[in-house]
A and B are shown apart, each in its own frame.
Chain A
Amino acid sequence: MTPLTACLLVASLLFSVGLAGAITRRSAILVLAGIELMLSAANLNFIAFWRYGPHAASANHLLTGVLFVLFSIAVAAAEAAVGLALIVAIYRHANTSDVTEITELKG
């Protein structure tokens, strides 16, 4: 098993764990936590390909993986802030953070 395969397998396992949590848990906060775990798995893939993957000859593209991860971390932070604010607002409105009980838009 090459190191790249090992990294990708670990990242896909992490993604699956996050996906299982996001699907099965009923607390909205834990659904968001599962999504964050999936994002971390994607970032791990970027780092793995940056470390072990083939590189372009130009020195300008040598940092693309790391920079993509940095931008992705910043976007994930913004997403977490807005998502948690939405959860707090929904809790004020519906008095629950259980995603199975917020069914106002259900037809």
Chain B
Amino acid sequence: MAVSFWILAFLTLASAVAAMTMARLIHCALALVLAFAGVATLYLNLGAEFAGLAQLLVYVGAVAILIVFAILLTRSSEVTAMPAARTAFSGSLIALAVFAVLARAIISSRLVHAAPAQPIAPMATVRQIGEALMQPYVLPLEVLALLLTAALIGAVLIALREKPSKQGAPTS
């Protein structure tokens, strides 16, 4: 395994831990951007250029902006949302147990060891991906387009509905 993979994996995991443990929400959002960018660099490191750049565009470009906007709109950046001590302990314990089970399954799996150590990297040029999206995967692509349109309209309808308050004055 290349050294670059381990460096990128360490950066990704460290920023993910920072995103989940920092006290102020806006710091969490910035660390989350770093974690998403780290995952994108891992994709690039593994040879999936198009998926890495799509991850960079969608997560770092769109989802991060959405999260920052949600933090600003809910005005919760002032509140330090630290977890209660008991919840933090038991939650970390559950996550550790899940990781232990997954690691045990991965290490003892025969499928993983059956894979060749250094296979030839499969080619995935943008041209091939485009042709695959237009020929065998055209139906999922259309369904996805419908889903994205519905999600866009639904998000706008949910977030922008002016709720008539009982006092007569608009709340915001």
Contacts and interface: CB of A to CB of B under 8 A. Distances in A.
A complexed with B: yes
B55 A29 contact: no
B74 A87 contact: yes
B25 A29 contact: yes
Chain A interface size, as a band, is 35 or more
A82 B155 contact: yes
Given A5-B106, A73-B54, A82-B154, A16 B96 contact: yes
A27 B76 contact: yes
A24 B159 contact: no
Which applies to chain B's interface (DSSP): helix, strand, loop or mixed?
A: helix
Contacts of B46: 7, 47-48, 51
Contact of B48 (A54, A60, A69, A91): A69
Given A62-B128, A88-B74, A88-B159, 18 more contacts: A7-B5, A9-B103, A10-B13, A16-B95, A17-B13, A19-B98, A23-B94, A23-B95, A24-B88, A36-B36, A36-B59, A40-B55, A51-B121, A69-B43, A73-B54, A73-B59, A74-B147, A77-B62
Interface of A: 1-10, 12-21, 23-27, 29-30, 32-34, 36-37, 40, 43-44, 47-48, 50-55, 60, 62-63, 65-67, 69-71, 73-82, 84-89, 91-93, 97-98
The 6 closest A-B pairs by CB, nearest first: A21-B20, A20-B95, A78-B151, A24-B91, A23-B91, A16-B99
12 contacts: A16-B95, A19-B94, A27-B76, A51-B47, A54-B114, A62-B124, A63-B124, A65-B48, A70-B51, A76-B58, A81-B155, A85-B159
